[in-house]
Structure 1
Amino acid sequence: MSRFRTTILRAPLILCLALPGLAQAATYCVRNHTELQQALTAAAASPGDDEIRIREGVYTTFNGTFTYTAQTTGWLFIVGGYYTVDGNDCAQMRMDASRTILDGAGQNQVLRITLLPPAGTTTSARLGVMNLSIANGYGDSATFVRGGGVDMSSFSDGYTELWLENVIVAASKGYFGGGANLYAKNGLARIANSLFDDNQAPTTAYGHASITVVSTLENLAHPVVIANSSFVRGRCAGNGTRGCGVGVGLPAGVHLDVLNSLFFDNAISDLNIEGMANIGLGNGSASADSSLIGTLSGNLPLTATRALAGDPAFVDATNGNFRLRNDSPFINQALATIPYYPLSMLDLDAKLRTRFDAMDPGPYENQTWDILFVDGFDD
């Protein structure tokens, strides 16, 4: 039984059912697993920018992995949380990732997004998965399936951005990257405002996520970003010193930024950072700010600023509630001025991301703790 409980694109056309073979930019509204795959197929054939709006509900991979394989470089956003208003499907979106669930039922990789245009392609693209949950994915280790929950891979020579934002990835297994695999031949990868819980790599490492950016734009300051997220209860067999949290591969010219994020209760190590000098690509660099990273592994150092330490004091970690308690020492200990281009102003509960100009680390902002004024009176 499952342990998991429960800038918008310019889009001239909204289709309640994705039509096979459609090859124009569109916004698709899907209501079941069949329509979701039809929309992914149609969007992959489109040379334009597409958005797939998923109505709230559970979408199980009955017929195999939800798959998008494109040879054109149009943008794609897959966004959950939509519902019907006055008979109009996907008329509004609710910011609640737990209400839209893509479920692999412990048998299939849940979502695979692949961009594979002709060699020499220079057009840029952005591929985003937002405001939904990915659960119970299975990537077969025998066939080297990375990202049992979600695999986002761009093999384009053109610059491609990979976004996972406002998502919950839980109870998934895979070969290097049980929860997610993000690979960009040229581009950017970012995980923001998200929760990764109870993901596994049973035969290898990186229970939660494997991230590799081979090259990026010259002078791009933040090609790999992990921000306002939590990675908890990762498990794996281990692979040398590689542990069960997140693994990041960084060649020369590629920098990892970890910001306002919590790594907790991950076996062996929380974060593994490796350069690529051994394959002739040199070594990148990594830094962290206002984050909890207990155990570091790999061959690259991490420059840490305002490092957090100790018990985060989650509400109920045993039962999967990773919000901060009122007595958490981490409340208001995050960096409130975000030095990266746009991150959500709302947390994973759709609450304001800051309170009194202060921010909490992780994907949830505590808005309930009591304020004691200097005169001794409670607010």
Structure 2
Amino acid sequence: MSHLFRLSTGFLLGLLLLMAAPTARAAIYCVTNVSDLQIALNAAAASFNDDEIKLKQGIYAVQQRLFYNSPNNGWLFISGGWIQDGENNCAQQVPAAANTVLTGSAMYPVLGLYFNPSTTPSAGPRYGLYNLSIRDGYGDSATFQRGGGVQMTALADVQTEFFLDNVIIANNIGFFGGGADLYVRRGLIRIVNSLFANNSSPTTAYGHFAATSVSGNNPYGVLIANSSFVNGQCPGSGGRGCGIGVIVGGGQRLDIINSLFSGNAISDVNIEGAASGGFGNGTAFADHSLIGALSGTLPLSASNGLVGDPRFVDVPGQDFRLRDDSPFINRGLGTIPVYGYPPADLAGNLRLRFGALDPGAYENQTWDFIFADGFQ
């Protein structure tokens, strides 16, 4: 494991600069195996500074959940897709989330990130995952393990942000939130350019993820943009379905923009408030998205809704790119309200092609607008 003390470049540094961060110098770790990844997580958790962990391309098979539990408010970013040049194992990043895989091998939960200060600090951290896959995580429902893929939790009443950008979360199992369990007492949960596929909660609900934002320093509690949620499975619980489950407290909002929900059992989106816990009820909005069945206690104010078959390339093979004959090409016309997009889609291709964004995690690269209009 190499431990380099220098400024980060590229996308993650851009994210760091989007809002004021502590001025201490960032630590950067380059890891090539699971053992070194846990060592880097331990070191980062003990640090008061910001940290970036770079994962060399490959498969990281865990034998217990990777664990980051920090009382400090330094930011943490974990990014995949790094390749070797000479002696530097993390010399260059290839933007393709499928090339770096954290897997639980259908036996173990994969990753847990926890912000756990002893006293409430003046500012909270941002934790980010970028350009990687989390697959085949197993959270035991008998012991109430949430988020078989990833669990991210911040209980402190201070603005904290979780970013999942260009991430694949697939084939995970867990109790309420098979793919992911995400909770901020105060803050933002952001999911952009990401794919949740074939996740399940075998005894409860929310196959793909459960997300809660109780309060915040601004109204954006849960933001989902240009992401795809396919084939979530569960038996259901109290009317709740198998896609995603979101709780937003008073003054907070859920935004779903340019996103696709398909093949999820019972319901695609379940929305609830936090009034039962004394925190009031938030609001929910969707724009230019494919959302079928809804459940929950809060209404969804939807505009420019998409209808029909998205025509994915190969659903059984988990290829969720849009075919050239998809009716949704160039239909991702909603505007993301905060922070903007990474420059590449989930496969590393240009995020903008043929004049407008496509909804979902992938941008079609082969559609011919001349032939699509019937001219030859």
TM-score (norm 2): 0.92
Identity %: 54
Determine if contact 1:204/1:236 at 8 Å carries over to the other structure: yes
SS of the equivalent of 1:186 reads strand
TM-fit CA distance, 1:226: 0.6
Distance 1:269 1:374, change over 3 A: closer
Distance 1:174 1:85 in 2: 38
Of 297, 300, 304, 1:299 maps to: 297
Cα separation, partners in 2 of 1:206 and 1:291, compared to 1, 3 Å: same
The farther-off stretch of 29-38 and 329-338 is: 329-338
- Whether 1:153 aligns to 2:165 is no
Matches within 5 A, 1:153-302: 153-217=153-217, 220-302=218-300
Deviation at 1:257, TM superposition (A): 0.3
Gap runs ≥5 in structure 1: 1-6, 11-22
| Paired position in structure 2 for 1:60 | 61
Partner of 1:8: 12
**What is the rounded CA distance, in whole Å, between the counterparts of 2:219 and 2:332 in structure 1?**
20
Q: Which residue of 2 aligns with 1:50?
A: 51
Letter in 2 for 1:120: T
3-state SS of paired residue (1:372): helix
Q: Distance in 1 between matches of 2:42 and 2:374?
A: 61
Q: How does 1:10-49 map to 2 (within 5 A)?
A: 25-49=26-50
CA distance in 2, matches of 1:159, 1:54: 27
Q: Secondary structure at the match of 1:318?
A: coil
- Which moved further from structure 2: 179-188 or 220-229? 220-229
SS at match of 1:224: strand
* One-letter amino acid of the structure 2 residue matched with residue 256 of structure 1: L
Contact preservation (8 Å) 1:359, 1:365: yes
* Residue 337 of structure 1, CA deviation: 4.3
Secondary structure, in 3 states, of the residue corresponding to 2:80? strand
Cα root mean square deviation, aligned = 1.7
1:6-155 to 2 correspondences below 5 Å? 7-9=11-13, 25-62=26-63, 64-155=64-155
- Cα pair 2:330 2:354 within 8 Å, conserved: no
Amino acid at match of 1:228: N
SS in 1 for 2:52: strand
Change (3 A) 1:363 1:201: same
**Is this contact kept in 1: 2:31–2:54, CA < 8 A?**
yes
Q: Which range moves more in the overlay, 327-336 or 145-154? A: 327-336
Kept in 2, the 8 Å contact 1:9–1:49? The answer is: no
- Shift in alpha-carbon separation, 1:376–1:285, aligned structure 2, 3 A: closer
SS of match in other structure, 1:322: strand
C-alpha distance in 1 between matches for 2:364 and 2:327: 12
Cα distance in 2, alignment partners of residues 104 and 247 from structure 1 = 23
Task: Output the amino acid matched with 1:60.
Answer: A
Please tell me the residue identity of whatever aligns with 2:234. C
Q: How does 1:321-360 map to 2 (within 5 A)?
A: 321-335=319-333, 337-360=335-358
Aligned residues of 2:225 and 2:336 also touching (Cα < 8 A):
no
Residue by residue over 1:204-235, the C-alpha shift from the partner in whole angstroms, topping out at 9 and shown as x without a partner, is: 00000000011100xx2422101100000000
Given the two structures, how large is their TM-score scaled by the length of structure 1?
A: 0.91
Matched positions, count: 357
